Every structure is written in structure tokens, then in C-alpha cells.
Amino acid sequence: MSSDYKDKRIRKNSQLSSFRLAVLGILTAIKQERNVKIHLVISILVIILGILNDLSKHEWMFIAFCIGLVISLELINTAIERVVDLVTSEYHPLAKEAKDIAAGAVFVAAILSVVIGGVIFIPKILQAIMS
Ligand SMILES: Nc1ncnc2c1ncn2[C@@H]1O[C@H](COP(=O)(O)OP(=O)(O)OP(=O)(O)O)[C@@H](O)[C@H]1O
């Protein structure tokens, strides 16, 4: 990295707080990554479903945890994809492993969220159908 580029970067970063840079990172991921958009839409739908079903404080804590976990891991997955693409545009088995493992982390969190969402919502939906 050239020192000129580094100087410019340090100056630029000191103008923006780390909080604003983090928000910028989230907005970049939302704009550029289809999966981040999909997770956000699903999260909004789950929140609406939660409001309609009048969830308890504990149920909301589980839902909030799952939404935060999946979106955080999706952002880390996106960052790993960027770094891999920065390092190589060629096919490389390690690049494949890095991307696939990062995607696996999101998948595990998504499965956990589906299980928790099912435990919370299925009984409520069944009760609503039966009554
Ligand atoms: N440089 C590479 N070398 C080897 N395999 C790669 C490389 N880049 C991508 N792949 C493989 O292609 C898959 C898709 O890669 P891509 O870069 O399109 O990430 P994707 O964009 O994972 O998916 P998404 O944007 O839907 O999250 C990766 O999961 C990986 O298996």
C-alpha cells in the first residue's frame, strides 16, 4: 500500500467516526448484496408477524437475537467474499473453501433461526387456525 494512499485514508477516516463508517458498510452491503436484502425483508416480515401475534418479552429476545445473528454473519460473509476477490480473481481451492465456509456460517444461523421461529410461531399459528 503506498504511503500517500495510507495518509489519505487515515485523514479520511478521522473525518468520519467509526460509527458512521460501520453504517456506511451496512448500507453498502444492503445495496450490493442480494442475500442481505433478502434477510432484511424476512426480518421485517418476522417482526410484523411477531407484532400481530403479541409475542412475550422472552420470545422477542429470541427473535431479536436470531435477526441480529443472521444479519451480522451475512455482513461478515460479504466482507470475506470481498477480501477473497481482492486477493485473487483466479480459481483457487482455498478461495473456494473460504467463501463456502463463510456461507456455511450464515446457513447454520439461518437453520437455528428457522428452528427458533418454528418453536415460537407454529403453536400460535395452529392455535389461530383451530380457534
Ligand atoms: N476465486 C475462487 N476460486 C474458487 N472458487 C470460487 C472463487 N470465487 C468463488 N468461488 C466459488 O463460487 C461460489 C460463489 O462465489 P461468489 O463470489 O459468486 O460468491 P457468492 O457471491 O457466494 O454468493 P452470494 O453473492 O450469493 O453470497 C463460492 O461459494 C465458491 O464456491
Domain ranges within the chain, ordered by starting residue: 1-32, 33-130
Q: Atom 9 in ligand 1: which residue has the minimum CA distance?
A: 96
**9 pLDDT tier (thresholds 50, 70, 90):** low
Q: Which of 33, 74, 96 to mutate to test the pocket of ligand 1 (most atoms within 8 A of CB)?
A: 96
Catalytic (active site) residue 97: no
More confident residue, 17 or 105: 105
Residues 6+ apart with CB under 8 A from 106: 35, 70, 73, 74, 77
Q: Which amino acid is at 103?
A: A
Rounded mean pLDDT of 94-113?
A: 98
Catalytic residue among 46, 74, 75, 113: 74
pLDDT at 1 over 60: no
Please tell me whether 81 is known to bind a ligand: yes
- Mean of the pLDDT values across residues 6-21? 72
10 pLDDT above the threshold of 90: no
CA of 131 to the centre of ligand 1 (A): 47
pLDDT for residue 75: 98
Residue 131: band (very low, low, confident or very high) from pLDDT cuts 50, 70, 90? confident
In the predicted model, is pLDDT for residue 4 greater than 90? no
Positive or negative, the Cα torsion across 46, 68, 102, 122?
A: negative
The confidence score (pLDDT) of residue 83 equals: 98
pLDDT exceeds 90 at position 41? yes
Q: What is the pLDDT of residues 51-100, one digit of tens each?
A: 999 999 999 999 999 999 999 999 999 999 999 999 999 999 999 999 99
CA angle at 114 for the pair 106 and 97, rounded to the nearest 5°: 20
Domain 33-130 has CATH 3.40.50.450: no
**pLDDT above 60 for 13:** yes
